[in-house]
Structure 1
Amino acid sequence: MQLTKLKIITPDEIYIDDLEVEYVNVRTADGQITVYANHSPVVSTLLIGDMKYEINGVIKYIHLHRGIIQVSKDQVKILTQRLYEVNEKGQRIKK
């Protein structure tokens, strides 16, 4: 399976920097989308909600507070005001 690179940026930091993942699933203003490697280019606004991505067969969840997604052939870039990790039920994971 081909992988795509995930980059998530907040005003404070680069939260994830080109992590190779199987897919990324987010809630956009136009609806839910799942992005795999070689996806068509997309730019869209993100709604408040949980996104998920899969790495080595493990699904991870992150709560995003709005933002923008930019998809190119080999990268998914997400810019968001703030975020935190959640579990599959959307409950915040304490760190």
Structure 2
Amino acid sequence: MELTKLKIITPEGIYIDDLKVESVSVRTADGQVTVFANHSPIVSTLLIGDMKYELNGTSKYIHLHRGILQVSKEQVKILTQRLYEVDEQGRRLK
């Protein structure tokens, strides 16, 4: 399976820097979007909610407080004001 690079940036700095993942799912103003490697380029506004990314067959979840999604063929970039890790039910981990 081809991988895409995930980068998440907050005002405090880079939270995830080009981590190679299988997929990224986020809530955008246009609905739920799942991105895989070589996805068509898009730019969208993110809504408050949980994102999911798949890494080595394992799902990881992060709660995002709005932001911007920018997708290119090589990278999924997320710019957000605030975030924190959550479990599958959306409960805060840290």
TM-score (norm 2): 0.99
Amino acid aligned to 1:55: L
Provide the identity percentage: 81
Q: Which residue does the alignment assign to 2:21?
A: 21
CA displacement at 1:13 relative to structure 2: 1.4
Amino acid at match of 2:83: L
Offset at residue 86 of structure 1 (A): 0.1
Q: Corresponding residue for 2:93?
A: 93
Q: CA deviation at 1:3?
A: 0.1
- Asked whether 1:73 is paired with 2:83, we answer no
Structure 1 residue runs of 5 or longer lacking an equivalent are none
C-alpha distance in 2 between matches for 1:13 and 1:56: 25
Query: Is 2:54 aligned against 1:46?
Result: no
Distance 1:31 1:74 in 2: 22
Distance 1:34 1:57 in 2: 15
The answer for the alignment partner of 1:8 in structure 2 is: 8
Structure 2 residues not aligned, in runs of 5+: none
Within 2, Cα distance between the matches of 1:13 and 1:85? 16
Question: TM-score, normalising length from structure 1?
Answer: 0.98
